[in-house]
Structure 1
Amino acid sequence: MRLGCHISIRNGYLGAAKHAISLNASAYQFFPKNPRSLSVKDYDSLDAKSCKDFCRERNLISVTHTPYPTSLTPTPDKKKAVIDSLLNDLEISEACGAIGTVVHFGSRINPKDPLSSYQLMIEMLDEVLSQWEGECKILLENNAGVRGSMGTSLEELVQVRNLCDYSEKIGFCLDTCHAYASGLWNGENWAEVAEKGGELGYFEHLYVIHLNNCKYPSGEGKDRHANIFGKGFIQEDQFTELIQSFVVNDIPFILETPNEEGITKAEEIEQLLKKWGK
């Protein structure tokens, strides 16, 4: 099981990679810059290269997560800022050796014209990726929200990728809390999800899984992450079915679970490896 968690870059990019190793992680996620800003960062290229070399030497996989304000369906006044920020995220991620940068699926901008949101998403992705020549991919993450909300189905994710002019530069990130909250995965239907994803070609382009429990029942649309064991509505046997499924073989699992519930990330990783590491 390739497992890790989200790591702060307060000690730099190399520092984050070293922190991941100290937690016995074999994968990790980090913000490439300030998570609350769309500003373009003039990053330390030597630190980034050191991070990339360190990860390569230790077979440590990393992904990044775009800042919270990043939206693939921005208002017109934010469009350029989002494009510039995303290109900056891709550049930093590539320099650090990350395989992709996670971006949340877009949100509905006009209830009377739902197609306009998808069209804007595709336009944004094409604008960014037409300027990007690196190996690092944009990884579209499924949304939480009630069933039927934008970004909650595998069909949407796959179709947006297929309709982009640069689909080869796009992959996916599956968030288990989001999938559970939306009802995509209700804990009992993983076989159905796996079959549907296989038919659509979703799992061929899945690069990372955000491994999170959910504090609310399936289908309520509430995006509240919980720790894996004993803190949420997803049961151990349900996680077992997902984690041991052949469709997610070799996919890294990244914890985005709470830190204030009395368990450290090192302890949670140890628990998970003991349960599912083999």
Structure 2
Amino acid sequence: MILIIKIYSNAKVIHKFNYLLLKKIYFYHTIKKYLKFNKKDLMKNILLGAHVSITGGFDKAILRGEEIGCTAIQIFLKSSRTWHAKKLTLQEIESFKAAQKNSSIKIVVAHCSYLINIASSSNDTEQKSVKALKQELEICNELGVPYLVLHPGSHLKAGEDVGIEKIAKNLDAVLENCDGKTMILLEIMAGQGTNIGYKFEQLKQIRHLCKHKNKVGICFDTCHAFSAGYDISTPKSYEKVWEEFDKILGLKNLKAIHLNDSKSPCGSKVDRHENIGNGTIPLKTFELIMNDKRFSDIPKILETPETSSGDNYPKEIKLLKSLIK
């Protein structure tokens, strides 16, 4: 009798084990299928691209982006070497919006003219910079461009604290009567010359002093950050940098990433962009960024040097996509 009960009990255990095993196998295949779909979905929705020209009109920038495989692009709003921006016509605005709507370009980021220096100790340059920044912000709002990337500025030996205060003051002057949705993104700098913004603390201080900080975000440039001394060359140091960024600036304020390799070593404070995989930043770093879920909805823009063949952007976009696991 005891033997029969034992055999019966063992049969029940085996049956239960087989049932759980089958359940796990089914669950594994379901998840595996989901993960495959998830990667495909990630590839489809990734925000990756490059800086493209607006020659011939803003709508042409959309076409250029599509031709090289972009889903995100960055543009200048005028010649990067001129102060004044011409007023947009309604046709220009509508053509741009229609071109983007019918394209694979999910987001457009703008970059300020290199002439703009709202930290300048020269009153003339400061006033011209504020006026130019207002014009560019207005164009962004008209085109529906959500982000305008700005180099914080150079204090020109007036001192970093003085420069930081000027930047915050002038950002407020620009944003004071602006009803649009476009955010100004302060770009982290390499620390070359008297540039401000090569430390997370400096960017934090600018935002802290700014009354309209809700309209001021951050753009992280891999080349600039690396040259400034933020070591992102190993998985451990990479994570340490982002933990520091989150603690000081908050990841919620990161709105764009510039993907650039560097010709210069970490901490050199020399701003020299290089093509992905050819510089001092390991390819592994770009793999980490491309697979970092925290940045899945953040536009990643290439600003690497044009090669003699002129096909570096499509090649680099393809390379970066291949790093997605």
**Structure 1 and Structure 2 fold alike (TM over 0.5):** yes
Matched with 1:273 is: 321
Higher mean Cα deviation, 167-176 or 147-156?
Answer: 147-156
Output the CA distance in 1 between the equivalents of 2:194 and 2:83: 29
Q: Post-superposition shift, 1:201?
A: 4.0
Shifted more, 265-274 versus 48-57: the winner is: 48-57
SS of equivalent residue, structure 1 residue 143:
coil
- Identify if the C-alpha distance between structure 1 residues 171 and 56 changes in structure 2 by more than 3 Å, giving closer, same or farther: farther
Give the Cα separation in 1 of the matches to 2:147 and 2:227: 24
CA distance in 2, matches of 1:222, 1:249: 29
Question: Displacement of 1:205 after TM fit?
Answer: 1.3
**1:112-151 → structure 2 map (5 Å cutoff):** 113-145=159-191, 150-151=196-197
Q: Which amino acid aligns with 1:94?
A: N
Taking the aligned partners of 1:254 and 1:54, their CA distance within structure 2 comes to 20
- Give me the whole-angstrom Cα distance separating, in 2, the residues matched to 1:164 and 1:151: 15
Structure 1: distance between partners of 2:274 and 2:238: 19
- 1:44 alignment partner in structure 2: 89
How far apart, CA to CA, are the structure 2 residues paired with 1:148 and 1:239?
29
Query: 2-side partners of 1:135 and 1:46: how far apart?
Result: 21
Change (3 A) 1:219 1:228: same
Cα offset for 1:146? Answer: 6.2
**1:145 Cα shift?**
2.1
- Counterpart AA for 1:86: L
- Is contact 1:51-1:96 (8 Å) kept? yes
1:14 aligned residue? 59
Candidates 124, 147, 152, aligned match of 1:77:
124
**Of 18-27 and 209-218, the range deviating more from structure 2:** 18-27
> Which residue is equivalent to 1:171?
217
| Structure 1: segments with no counterpart, 5+ residues | none
Offset at residue 261 of structure 1 (A): 5.1
Is structure 2 residue 103 aligned with structure 1 residue 30? no
Q: CA deviation at 1:19?
A: 1.4
Post-superposition offset of 1:114 = 3.0
TM-score, length-scaled by structure 1: 0.92
Partner of 1:83, secondary structure, is helix
Aligned residue-pair number: 275
Contact 2:187-2:220 within 8 A present in 1 as well: yes
Aligned with 2:288 (options 241, 245, 255): 241
- Cα separation, 2, equivalents of 1:228 and 1:273: 12
**1:4 Cα deviation (Å)?**
0.4
Is the contact between residue 72 and residue 121 of structure 1 (CA under 8 Å) also seen in structure 2? yes
The 1:237–1:148 alpha-carbon spacing in structure 2 relative to 1, beyond 3 Å, is: farther
Secondary structure of the corresponding residue to residue 138 of structure 1: strand
Query: Contact between 1:72 and 1:106, CA under 8 Å: does it hold in 2?
Result: yes
Identity %: 31
Q: Distance in 1 between matches of 2:89 and 2:194?
A: 42
Secondary structure of the structure 2 residue equivalent to 1:131: coil
Within-5 A mapping of 1:223-262: 223-229=271-277, 231-260=278-307, 262=309
Q: Give how far 1:213 is off.
A: 0.1
- Counterpart for residue 40 of structure 2: none
Partner of 2:257, secondary structure, is strand
Structure 1: distance between partners of 2:182 and 2:304: 25
Aligned to 2:242: 194
Deviations 1:191-212 (A, max 9, x none): 1111112223432111111100
Whichever structure has more helix as a proportion of its residues is 2
Q: Offset at 1:150? A: 2.9
Deviations along 1:14-54, whole A, 9 cap, x unmatched? 11112112222100000001110111322233222221233
Give the counterpart letter for 2:298 in structure 1.
Answer: I
Work out whether residues 27 and 61 of structure 1, in 8 Å CA contact, stay in contact via their aligned partners in 2.
Answer: yes
Distance in 2, Cα, partners of 1:116 & 1:155? 15
CA RMSD of aligned residues (A): 2.0
Per the alignment, residue 55 of structure 1 pairs with 100
> d(CA) in 1 for partners of 2:73 and 2:202?
27
Which residue of 244, 266, 287 corresponds with 1:218?
A: 266
1:45-75: per-residue Cα shift (whole Å, max 9, x none)? Answer: 3222221233245452001111110112122
- How many Å apart are 1:169 and its aligned residue? 0.9
CA contact (8 A) 1:144 1:152 kept: yes
Greater relative contact order structure (CA < 8 Å, 6+ sep): 1
